[in-house]
Amino acid sequence: MTSKLLSPMQGTVLVVDVQVGDDVAEGQRVAILESMKMEHEIPASSSGTIIKIHTSIGETVLEGQELFSFDLKEINQTDETAIFEPDLDYIREDLAEVQERHEIGLDHRRPEAVEKRRNRDQRTARENIADLLDGGSYIEYGPLVVAPQRKRRSIDDLIMNTPADGMIAGIGEVNRDHFPEDKAQCVVMSYDYTVLAGTQGGQNHRKKDRLFEIAKRLKLPVIFFTEGGGGRPGDTDGMQVAGLDCLAFGLWAELSALVPLVGINSGYCFAGNAAILGCCDVVIATENSNIGMGGPAMIEGGGLGSYHPSEIGPMDIQRGNGVVDITVKDEKEAVEVAKKYLSYFQGPLANWECEDQRELRHLVPENRLRVYEVRDIIKTMFDKDSILEIRKDFGLGIITSLARIEGRPVGVIASNPAHLGGAIDSDAADKASRFMQLCDAFDLPLISLCDTPGFMVGPEAEKTGLVRHVSRMFVTGRSVSVPTCTIVLRKAYGLGAQAMASGGFKFPLFTVSWPTGEFGGMGLEGAVKLGYRKELEAIEDLEERLDAYQALVDRMYEVGKATSMADHFEIDEVIDPMESRRWIASALKACSPPKPRDGKKRPMIDTW
* CATH at 446: 3.90.226.10
Those residues with Cβ within 8 angstroms of residue 221's Cβ, 6 or more apart along the chain or in another chain = 174, 186, 187, 215, 259, 260, 261, 262, 342, 345
Same domain, 333 and 386: no
Q: How far apart are CA 427 and CA 548, in angstroms?
A: 37
CA distance 109 to 112: 9
Instruction: For residues 568 and 154, give the distance between their C-alpha atoms in angstroms, rounded to a whole number.
Output: 82
Task: Count Cβ atoms below 10 Å from residue 117 Cβ, excluding itself.
Answer: 19
Among 343, 375, 409, identify where a domain stops.
343
Q: How confident is the model at residue 45 (pLDDT cuts 50, 70, 90)?
A: confident
Residue 83 falls inside a structural domain: no
Answer yes or no: is pLDDT of 84 > 70. no
DSSP one-letter string for 389-422: EESTTSSTTEEEEEEEETTEEEEEEEE-TTTGGG
Gap between the Cα atoms of 124 and 194, Å rounded? 8
Q: Are residues 215 and 295 in the same domain?
A: yes
Q: Tell me the per-residue pLDDT of 520-548, one tens digit each, with 9 for 90 and over.
A: 876 667 667 767 777 777 887 788 888 78
For Cα atoms 341, 342, 347, give the angle at the middle one, nearest 5 degrees.
Answer: 115
Q: Would you say residue 81 has pLDDT above 60?
A: no
> In angstroms, rounded to a whole number, what is the distance separating the alpha carbons of residues 428 and 394?
7
- For residue 241, is pLDDT > 80? no
pLDDT tens-place string over residues 380-412: 999 999 999 999 999 999 999 999 999 999 999
Q: Is 217 in contact with 211 (CB distance < 8 Å)?
A: no
Looking at the fold, whether 38 and 148 belong to one and the same domain comes out as: no
Together in a domain, 441 and 509: yes
Q: Is residue 79 part of a domain?
A: no
- Among the candidates 289, 314, 343, a domain finishes at 343
Rg value, the chain, Cα: 35
Tell me the residue type at 160.
M
C-alpha dihedral sign at 136, 137, 141, 146: negative
Domain annotation covers residue 242: yes
Please indicate, yes or no, whether residues 443 and 305 belong to a single structural domain of this protein: no
> Domain check: are 463 and 371 in the same one?
yes
Q: How does pLDDT run across 568-589, given as a tens digit for each residue?
A: 999 999 999 999 999 999 999 9
Kindly state whether residues 535 and 453 are assigned to the same domain. Answer: no
Closest CA to 260 of 438, 386, 479, 435: 438
Nearest-5° angle of CA 217, CA 218, CA 224?
A: 95
Q: Structure pTM?
A: 0.89
Asked whether residue 143 is assigned to any structural domain, the reply reads yes
What was the pLDDT predicted at 553? 77
Number of neighbouring beta carbons within 10 Å of residue 277: 25
Q: Rounded to whole angstroms, what are the CA distances from 282 to 177, 391, 605? A: 23, 9, 11
- 380 occurs within a structural domain: yes
CATH number of the CATH domain containing 40: 2.40.50.100
Q: Is 173 helix (H, G, I), strand (E, B) or coil?
A: strand
Label residue 235 by pLDDT band (50, 70, 90): confident
Cβ–Cβ < 8 Å for 447, 487: yes
Q: 304 burial class (0-12, 13-18, 19+ CB within 10 angstroms)?
A: exposed
Longest C-alpha distance within the chain, in Å?
Answer: 136
Q: Residues 337, 374: one domain?
A: no
Q: From CA 218, how far away is CA 185, in angstroms rounded?
A: 10
Contact 518, 560 (CB under 8 A): yes
Contact 32, 42 (CB under 8 A): yes
Whether residue 453 is contained in a domain is answered as yes
Is 80 among the domain residues? no
Q: How many domains does the chain divide into?
A: 4
Name the percent of the chain in helix, strand, coil, to the closest 5: 35, 20, 45
Same domain, 440 and 565: yes
Crossing angle of helices 542-560 and 524-531, in 10° steps, is 120
Residue 83 has pLDDT above 80, yes or no: no
> Which secondary-structure segment (H or E) carries 187?
strand 185-191
- Residue 194 neighbours by CB distance under 10 Å: 22
End-to-end CA distance of the chain: 87
pLDDT at 534 (0 to 100): 79
User: How would you class 403 by CB atoms within 10 Å of its CB: exposed for 0-12, middle for 13-18, buried for 19 or more?
Assistant: buried
- Looking at the fold, whether 371 and 240 belong to one and the same domain comes out as no
pLDDT at 378: 98
Q: pLDDT for 87-109, tens place per residue? A: 888 998 999 999 999 999 999 99
Contact 266, 227 (CB under 8 A): yes
Which residue in 409, 249, 432, 430 sits closest to 340, CA to CA?
Answer: 409
Considering 34, 57, 72, which residue would you say is the last residue of a domain? Answer: 72
Residues whose CB falls within 8 Å of the CB of residue 591, separated by 6 or more in sequence, listed in order: 445, 483, 509
Phi and psi torsions of 306, nearest 5°:
-105, 130
Confidence band, pLDDT 50/70/90 cuts, at residue 596 = confident
Q: Tell me the C-alpha distance between 524 and 532, whole Å.
A: 12
Query: How many other C-beta atoms lie within 10 A of the C-beta of residue 27?
Result: 14
Residue 509 has pLDDT above 60, yes or no: yes
The total of other beta-carbon atoms located within 10 Å of residue 536's CB is: 15
Q: Which of 264-278, 301-315, 546-560 has the highest mean pLDDT?
A: 264-278
| H or E element in which residue 167 lies | strand 167-173
Domain that holds residue 425: 357-517+561-590
Which of 51, 41, 48 lies closest to 15 in space, CA to CA? 41
Among 508, 333, 336, smallest CA distance to 413 is for 508
Return all residues near 453 (Cβ < 8 A) that are at least 6 apart.
Answer: 421, 422, 423, 491, 493, 494, 496, 523
Distance, in Å, from the CA atom of 562 to the CA atom of 551, rounded to the nearest integer, reads: 19
Q: Is residue 352 part of a domain?
A: no
Same domain, 109 and 150: yes
Cα–Cα dist 232/153, whole Å: 15
User: At what angle are helices 466-477 and 426-441 packed, to 10 degrees?
Assistant: 20
Residues 236, 326 share a domain: yes
